[in-house]
Amino acid sequence: MLRSSKKLVRVATMAELTNPHYYRRLWMAARNIPIGRRKWLDELAACFRDYECEIVYPSGQPFPLGDVDEIFGDDPDMRWLGYYLRSDPSGTQPKAMSRKLERVQILDLYFRVKYPKIAQHFSR
């Protein structure tokens, strides 16, 4: 069987996404990208439309990347992202952990595809 010559990008597991340290590092990275919350939907769609990689689960099975508009379908203004990016009073921690892990996973995948050198530090 011939393997694709595309770069493999592994999606984060739910255990990684719910780890407070991993979550905080992803949150900090997202806060530091200079994109307004309403522009993020276009940014995510463009990233996944133009990627030159094969996205897989940790097991190696292909990851069926859904349509970004469907994943954020009930929130075209990306209000969720505004809430996600809020900090606690110290300014150094997320105000709350999102329960919408599919959306958090897409943000994480965005960094793994577009900014792999940043994403590699999430699990340290």
pLDDT in tens, 6-37: 789 999 999 999 999 999 999 999 999 999 88
Q: Which pLDDT band, with edges at 50, 70 and 90, does 3 fall under? A: low
For 2, which DSSP code?
P
Q: What is the pLDDT of residue 77?
A: 83
**Token pair recorded at residue 74:** 């009930």
Report if residue 53 sits inside a domain. Answer: yes
Count up the domains in the chain and report the number.
Answer: 1
CA-to-CA distance for 21 and 63, rounded, in angstroms?
Answer: 24
Residues of the chain above pLDDT 90, percent: 71
Report if residue 2 sits inside a domain. Answer: no
Q: Give which of 47, 51, 53 is closest to 4, Cα–Cα.
A: 53
Q: What is the pLDDT of residue 75?
A: 82
Q: What is the pLDDT of residues 47-73, one digit of tens each?
A: 998 888 899 999 999 999 988 888 888
CA-to-CA distance for 19 and 99, rounded, in angstroms?
Answer: 13
Instruction: Name the residue range of residue 36's domain.
Output: 7-119
> pTM score, two decimals?
0.90
Report if residue 20 sits inside a domain. Answer: yes
Report if residue 15 sits inside a domain. Answer: yes
Q: Which pLDDT band, with edges at 50, 70 and 90, does 1 fall under? A: very low
The number of beta carbons lying within 10 Å of the beta carbon of residue 63 is: 15
Report whether pLDDT(46) > 80.
Answer: yes
The number of beta carbons lying within 10 Å of the beta carbon of residue 111 is: 22
According to DSSP, the residues that pair with 8 across neighbouring strands are 54
73 CB-near residues (< 8 Å, 6+ apart):
none
- Mapped onto helix, strand or coil, the DSSP state of residue 47 is helix
Report if residue 83 sits inside a domain. Answer: yes
Report if residue 1 sits inside a domain. Answer: no
Report if residue 96 sits inside a domain. Answer: yes
Report if residue 48 sits inside a domain. Answer: yes
